Structure 1
Amino acid sequence: MKFAANTFGFVRPMYSPQCVFSEKHMDMYVHWLQDSAGMTVQSSDAPFPTSREFNGFIRAQGSKYAQAIHPCEHPRHPSDIFSNKYCPVCLYKMHENYIQFIGYAWERKGAPWAGNRADKEYSQIKHAHLIARMVLANDMDIVEDMAHQERKWNAEHPAHDTSNTNSFCKVLDLYQAWVMQDLEDLDTVSRHSIHDPLRKVSFTNDTPDCTAEKGRPGRLWNRRSAEYTAGRHACPSKDGWEDTSGASSYVGLLMQCKLYIVESPSDMDDTNNPPENATYAGLLGGYPHQIEVVSRIEKLQQETSNQREFMRYLKASDAIFLLKARVIVGDKSNKFKFIDVRPMCLEKDGTASSKPSQWDVNSDPSVLGGDEMDWE
């Protein structure tokens, strides 16, 4: 049995969320999946929620949970063309609430140091907590890129005051404050009550003395902190090590797919060759709107009833058909809305189905009950 799986765009634990929900709330969660998302599941095989899904679940309970984040109209930064129903700050708070919820469940099991009292449920919650924090940390790389664009826009428009907007820069400040507080709290946790077996090691006389780093506070290991100092294993270059962690991810594979811009919706189902009126736009990795395309494919994957077959097909895909985007003219900038996108396997090797109809995709968002059941 897998402990976790990358389900395209995020990592989802592969065990039941019974470890974090009480029996009462687990029943409520299963009913929500059955009634709102049309899933035929029970407590034992219900999927572990992501932060967006968890927020959708508590939103569906009405006013019972004040932590639920609702679609907002908070002021966005003028350069923000990605935020739709939620501003960047609300999306961040959504994930922070999610981590806090899992953290409370973990604390009830004796976190963060349970020692020999740790059981299977403790390990599952700890793992889920780690995944939630990892996803948020990875998202901060995207947030940093967006914040860079905001600062660039501010420099080009010095007369425009953006201090009161819910910007990506504000998300970075909130995340930094949260991480620092979390690390300070962790430094106060004592492990003296946990007795590990005694072990002895010996070193040669020429072994460097690195005891100065032994008592280093956790916050000083955070590379985004102003107090960070490089350790002895840090990259000698200020640019840091090359990030190759996503080379084999689904996003990395998609970036190598050939992208074809299709003019007519009727041509989207041709799975043998690119339509005659299609325009080859190079690899998806070089397309300026690659984020929107990947988001659309991620949504498509979440809406299919046969996700295993979809993922098998996705791994074998070598091309992407993209229906020509609709341009929505705005006051400050134009937005591109992609109606249909299809991963395709043009070079058949017998490893994947070639008919998108076999994915059994329902692309009507109203069936899922609106945003809170969006499963993005």
Structure 2
Amino acid sequence: MNRNFEYSQSIIKYHMLKKQFIETRARFLKICEDLKIEDYSVQPAIFVSPPKWHLAHSTWFFEQFVLSEFSEGYKIYDEDFAYLFNSYYNNAGKRVLRPNRGLMTRPPVEDVYAYRDYVDAAMISFLEGHPSEKAMTVVQLGIQHEQQHQELFCYDIKYILGNQPTFPLLKNDLTLAEISKPSTWLKVNKGLYDIGHTEETFCYDNELGHNKVFLNAYEISDQLVTNREYLEFMKAGGYQDFNLWHAEGWEFIQQNNIKAPEYWHEVEGEWHQYTLDGFMKVHPDQPVMHVSMYEAFAYAEWRNLRLPTEFEWEAASSLFEFGQLWEWTNSAYLPYPGFSKAPGALGEYNGKFMINQMVLRGASIATCPNHSRSTYRNFFHPNMRWQFSGIRLAK
């Protein structure tokens, strides 16, 4: 009886993983439905990847790390694709340099979609063969990896279209909800708090190394900073007062002539912003987005407040709702105690980026459903603004 139960549970696990794989892969096609063929290969900045590259790279991940490794007799779709669509996995071989991704007009988009179809069919057949636990772990990582790229795609296509003179529209579901009530301060007592992932569910290796941290008593806002509040900072000369900025942040905004969040434009004395729904006036009650860590820090300084640390954020996360925007913390991206990398290429997934980056917590309107959690550690360089990032304050 017990063996039958275990077999039934195993069958359910295979079925659920296959279902998640199919739904995740279909979601990427759905969010690309409104693209024009000319949109697929554009790379207006080094940190932006073309939509075609995202579609191919996430497919290559399954081919490279699942099918080639665990599926006996699998035939590689195209030997050149590993070189063209590897991202940063040195252990997986040579690759096209990141700044050159937009130079690739070949393979054409139709070949990339054919590649996806080929790999999807092989993956579904593979999953129906009841793969090993080790293989299933890598498949789950591949699914989560694809979900990350779907969010990155949203950042990138907004940057691609938002830097065109006509501000094109794109069908989307990325509208921010209004913040309709004043923010309040949530009190957190001093004490020891558990940090890190402990549940029997998926997490990235950078969430592991469960540890306790001591936190002094603090308060954290129950809401994000709004455009209305951020406009007050701008009108008060926040971008002109070097006293509010890190030296590096001040140099960054001076060199790049930054006077407002990304995608904001002043037209006849009024601030407008580009969204995928079009060019429109800044909505005062939506949370401010597309700000760098430098800007978030300067705003907090202006308010005589501060950004929370990532541990403060995690300890308080059950007290407030999150999911509108990734939230900058005042914590450098570093390993937890006992952190260890996986061997080979998959060990490059997170560990080698643990320098010169800052942690963001939460999720955003572009995050795939059920992808984030309270222990999730996102990370970017402090000057980056194209991601969907906002500000939560602490004191």
- Coarse TM-score class (shorter-chain normalised): under 0.3
| TM-score of the superposed pair, with normalisation by structure 2 | 0.26
With structure 1 as the length reference, what TM-score do the two structures score? 0.26
